[in-house]
Structure 1
């Protein structure tokens, strides 16, 4: 089976799985991650385009933030890849990337080192968590989960476990920038992602400065 046909099947599967998502992990997020992955791929000739695009497309299809039964969701991905004649070696490469690319794995030192294919997918996903789009996604996700927007008395958390990081009753939407999003730029892998990330980082810093100025009425 040609890779173009396989990637189309992978995309259609992901659309079925994530098409109704309202948390900021919908198909628009997937399309942006794939777009970023393709841009980075153009600067990394040793990478495998099929593995990169397949992993970028599938990276949220069994995310534990989105699925209660992660094992069942992953089994659905496996079945789809088998049905579309994706080789076992290629499947292993795709799943290794997805299983080791997350910020929570990086935060706790649990993620195994990624090769250039994984680094590209990780960078592409992280770029969608930096910049103007990231600001929008914070409020979509936070609003959907009943998070507090901002409380100056609640300080950003540090040295969190994954369980603490995921708790809905602690922290605020604005603190999420300090607890994760502003840290991502220092954990990008590729030159292309670092260049884009630096620009997007400044967008977030400018926004946070304006937010706090308006919150305190200092712009009046």
Structure 2
């Protein structure tokens, strides 16, 4: 069995019954694909470590509004370490995967200290931008019962931003900020195009609703 197949089987087992369309197997596959692009452009990174981290980084996936959400990256890293130990991985590689998983989280604040961690972090954050980022943002907001936007003040021109109430506010409160945190030049280049699309989408949305 390939590493991807083994990791996907473990994710499917652990997350049986979950229906989070923003953090499903398709998301993991996109992160791996993007990570390969970044690694190839840089000519750096242990692809085996990157692959395992890409597929296992969200294996512990509590709801976004869960009080345990802040510990999800650490819990995923611990689970990944135990899983890879069972596959007879070397301790150094397991440690590298665990670090990449812990560092991927935007809210966790763990610095990405290796090139593998930087690549996985960038690939995951890129999936929060562009057309995919818009789709995932509204998917998660729907899961949490948030409105699409404030019909009285969609762009928060006269109120405080509140992405707990309005999905569109999340663009400004987090997603555009993510683009400023990317580690690598290839990721930053991809982010420019994706952020431009998000801003164009928002402009089009305003034309349709105002």
Q: Same fold (TM over 0.5)?
A: yes
Kept in 2: contact 1:155–1:175 (CA 8 A): no
Of 100, 103, 114, which aligns to 1:100? 103
Aligned residue runs from structure 1 range 92-131, under 5 A: 92-105=95-108, 110-131=109-130
The alignment status of 1:8 with 2:2, answered yes or no, reads no
In the comparison of the two structures, how many residue pairs are matched? 198
Q: Which residue in 2 is equivalent to 1:50?
A: 48
For 2:111 and 2:198, the matched residues in 1 are separated by 29
The C-alpha deviation readout for 1:140-183, integer Å capped at 9, x for no partner, is 111111112111265325xxxxxxx8xxxx33100011111111
1:148 counterpart SS class: coil
Aligned residue runs from structure 1 range 28-39, under 5 A: 28-39=26-37
Kept in 2: contact 1:52–1:121 (CA 8 A): yes
The C-alpha deviation readout for 1:104-144, integer Å capped at 9, x for no partner, is 13xxxx32342211110011001100000111111111111
TM-score if structure 2 supplies the norm length? Answer: 0.83
Unpaired runs of 5+ in structure 1?
A: 158-164
Instruction: Give, in angstroms, the shift of residue 7 of structure 1.
Output: 4.1
Q: Which residue in 2 is equivalent to 1:60?
A: 58
The alignment status of 1:156 with 2:161, answered yes or no, reads yes
Instruction: Give, in angstroms, the shift of residue 77 of structure 1.
Output: 3.1
CA 1:188/1:60 → structure 2, altered by over 3 Å: closer, same or farther?
Answer: same
Aligned residue runs from structure 1 range 179-198, under 5 A: 179-198=173-192
Instruction: Give, in angstroms, the shift of residue 207 of structure 1.
Output: 0.6
The alignment status of 1:17 with 2:14, answered yes or no, reads yes
For 1:111 and 1:189, the matched residues in 2 are separated by 13
Please provide the CA RMSD for this pair: 2.4
Q: Which residue in 1 is equivalent to 2:198?
A: 204
TM-score if structure 1 supplies the norm length? Answer: 0.80
CA 1:64/1:74 → structure 2, altered by over 3 Å: closer, same or farther?
Answer: farther
Unpaired runs of 5+ in structure 2?
A: none
Q: Which residue in 2 is equivalent to 1:135?
A: 134
1:95 counterpart SS class: helix
